[in-house]
Structure 1
Amino acid sequence: MRTYTLHVPEGSVRGDPRALEQAHLVRDGFAWGAFAFTVLWFVRHRLWLAALLVLAGLVALAFAGRALALSPFAALVITVLASLLIGLEASSLRRWTYGRRGKPARDAVIAGSHEEAELKAAARWLDAESTPGIATVGAAAPAATRLPQRRDDAVIGLFPASEGGR
């Protein structure tokens, strides 16, 4: 199961179907495409500034390797490590770029696939209460699974404000 974040235009009201037309889902975790294709992955996702920064970083890394007269094996290891870092941070750069463009993260869903994440995010955005089988974050548990709440329980810890309420 993966976590996906839903990015909709700023100022969108929950329940507005037009906001979903401009929404983006970003999967959290390692991006294999960004690891393998680095700059091309950013261009494919229209992340121009991030692509430019990654390209400048890789070019600077190559020039630094030449200036230090690194062996080909050391240069390969450094390149793989840089690609690994790019793969780890690619999703964060996507979220940052969408937030900068006025589409902040407004929701998060856990799903097994991108399609399932789209369905869950759309159901939660439009009206999560009327969609059976899809739990929402912070939704109330059914009455049968709720733990009974007792008012006479002693406070555990140092909470002086709660002592006066007895």
Structure 2
Amino acid sequence: MPTYTLHMADADDPGSPEALDRAKLVPDRFIWPAFWFTALWFFWHRLWLAGLLVLAVEVGAWVAGLVLNLSPLAGFVIALLLSWLIGLEASSLRRWTYARRGRPIRDAVTAADIKEAEVKLVRRWVAEREPPAPVPAPRTAPPYSRAGSPALGLFPEADLRR
């Protein structure tokens, strides 16, 4: 089961519905769209700096292949490995971008899919907001009366003197 990280601004009140609506969930797994579309995936998610970094690495690898006069098969293998690396690291770059923008990791949860992760995180964050249950007052013993005392002997008097 993948792990999902919750990213919220430090100024947001965790229990408020608006803050949870603005929160971002990032799965910690291989991202197939990032593998296939590389830099476009980052631009789609508005991760501009990470997208430019990925684009620069891809262009640099292409130029290096031209300068080194690599065969088309070697160029394809390099591009495939680079795409694999991007698919593996896409969620880490996304978390880095959110942390840089002032939305650090506030929580993490393991869930089968994103809907289950949302339910678990909302339940956890709303439970923290609920006021604690009032503590019941301690029960005191009823006042002692000799007439209704079931005890025999000197025990009730000994208890009264203390």
TM-score by structure 2 length?
A: 0.76
Q: Deviation of residue 128 (structure 1)?
A: 5.6
**What secondary structure, in the 3-state scheme, does the structure 2 residue paired with 1:35 have?**
helix
CA distance in 1, matches of 2:127, 2:18: 14
1:113 match:
113
1:124 match:
124
2:52 match:
52
2:63 match:
63
**What secondary structure, in the 3-state scheme, does the structure 2 residue paired with 1:26 have?**
strand
Moved segments of 4+, more than 3 Å: none
- What percent identity do the matched residue pairs reach? 58
CA distance in 2, matches of 1:111, 1:53: 31
CA distance in 1, matches of 2:6, 2:91: 12
**Can you list the C-alpha shifts for 1:93-131, whole angstroms capped at 9, x where unaligned?**
00000011111110001111111111111111111697x
CA distance in 2, matches of 1:48, 1:20: 24
CA distance in 2, matches of 1:122, 1:22: 12
**Structure 2: stretches of 5+ with no match in the other structure:** 131-162
CA distance in 1, matches of 2:73, 2:112: 38
RMSD: 1.4
2:81 match:
81
CA distance in 2, matches of 1:11, 1:60: 39
CA distance in 2, matches of 1:124, 1:12: 16
CA distance in 2, matches of 1:24, 1:14: 13
1:37 match:
37
1:6 match:
6
Name which of structure 1's ranges 114-123 and 76-85 shifts more when overlaid on structure 2: 114-123
**Structure 1: stretches of 5+ with no match in the other structure:** 131-166
CA distance in 1, matches of 2:98, 2:38: 19
Q: Deviation of residue 18 (structure 1)?
A: 2.0
CA distance in 2, matches of 1:69, 1:125: 56
CA distance in 2, matches of 1:14, 1:51: 30
* Aligned residue-pair number: 130
CA distance in 1, matches of 2:123, 2:26: 17
